[in-house]
Amino acid sequence: MDSTSLTVTIVDKQVIGDVAFLDLAPTVGRLPIFTPGAHIDLHLPSGLTRQYSLWNAPEEAGLYRIAVRLDRQGRGGSAGVHALAPGTTVTIGAPRNAFALERAEMVVLIGAGIGITPLLSMAAELHRTCRPFRLHYIDRVGKAAFRTMIQQAPWAAACRFHDTAAGRPNAVTLLAGCGADTRLYLCGPAGFMTDLRQAAGALPIAPLGIHEECFTPPAVVAGDTFTLVTARDGRRHLIPADRTIVDVLRTAGYDITTSCEQGICGACTTPVLSGTPLHQDLVLTDVEHASNLVMTPCCSRSQSPELVLDL
């Protein structure tokens, strides 16, 4: 367990449809504060570590709330969460935020399925600070586990529900009113977000910013063999096409901090000193990708024959 690990107890658990709602309280001491859009690492008894967004209001002190949809075709993380019982003690990581809520005259939040979770803490904060926003919740009515909670929220009037049983909502409808003073926050399946990002980019007036968080890992391209230089000791490492940077460095004895190892959480983000990364993550922004000043070595590779990292 590292210094950022926390021990918490599951003080309440409810299951609505295929979504498990867990309330986590500190076993001792106090929980660190978090900002809207933050997530935690949950270390399951099976040894798996998974990332889950905190959906409750940040001012709700002493409690972290997560919601996990059961994925029967997944790799076991969601099933492990659903198997946890109230009273169980688990280890989590301190909150991290790669999906932070930024200032804007207008904020549009669009969540599909369980992708609604990080947007709920944003909605609560926007309402508390009297900032204008709209929230679109896209899911099949029978599976929309948050519907009742949203209907009872003090900001319910800002939410629009979209039943996918009636078809996928039109991007024009979702993006209505977006302008140069608007920030757009998207969370859901990769294809859904790609379509909306492209539609937003085609608007007559582009939004101030488009921010995304995805729960589905990107398709990783193996790429060519390249040489990685760890700048702090000057060592050179051959990264073959079938191995990741993190895998090679760990074999060489380096202690690399990771969590998801899929380019979703941002835990391994590392400064680039020389070379051009081949970015394959879903956590860094377009600006960060274009700058080539940082990369995620868990999944990204190199476009140049040599890459120098601040390691």
Q: Where do the domains of the chain lie?
A: 5-93, 106-213, 226-309
pTM reported for the whole predicted model: 0.79
Question: Tens of pLDDT along 242-257?
Answer: 899 999 999 999 999 8
* Range list of H helices, the chain: 77-82, 117-128, 147-152, 171-174, 190-201, 245-251, 286-291
Is residue 220 pLDDT above 80, yes or no?
no
Q: Which residue has the tokens 């729960």?
A: 215
Average pLDDT over every residue of 190-199 = 88
Q: What is the DSSP letter of 300?
A: -
Residues 90-123: tens digit of each pLDDT: 999 999 998 999 999 999 999 999 999 999 999 9
Q: What is residue 234's DSSP assignment?
A: T
**Cα(68)–Cα(85) distance, integer angstroms:** 14
Q: What is the DSSP letter of 245?
A: H
139 forms beta bridges with 163
Options 3.30.70.2190, 1.10.340.30, 2.40.30.10, 3.30.590.10; which CATH number does 5-93 get? 2.40.30.10
Q: What is the CATH number of domain 106-213?
A: 3.40.50.80
Nearest to 294 by CA among 186, 283, 226: 283
Q: Which residue pairs from 226-230 have beta carbons closer than 8 angstroms and sit at least 24 positions apart in sequence?
A: 226/301, 226/302, 226/304, 226/305, 226/306, 226/307, 227/305, 227/306, 227/307, 228/302, 228/306, 228/307, 228/308, 228/309, 229/274, 229/306, 229/307, 229/308, 229/309, 230/254, 230/309, 230/311
Per mean pLDDT, which range of 14-18, 165-169, 247-251, 256-260 is the poorest? 256-260
Fold of 226-309: Ubiquitin-like (UB roll) (3.10.20)
Question: What amino acid occupies position 38?
Answer: A
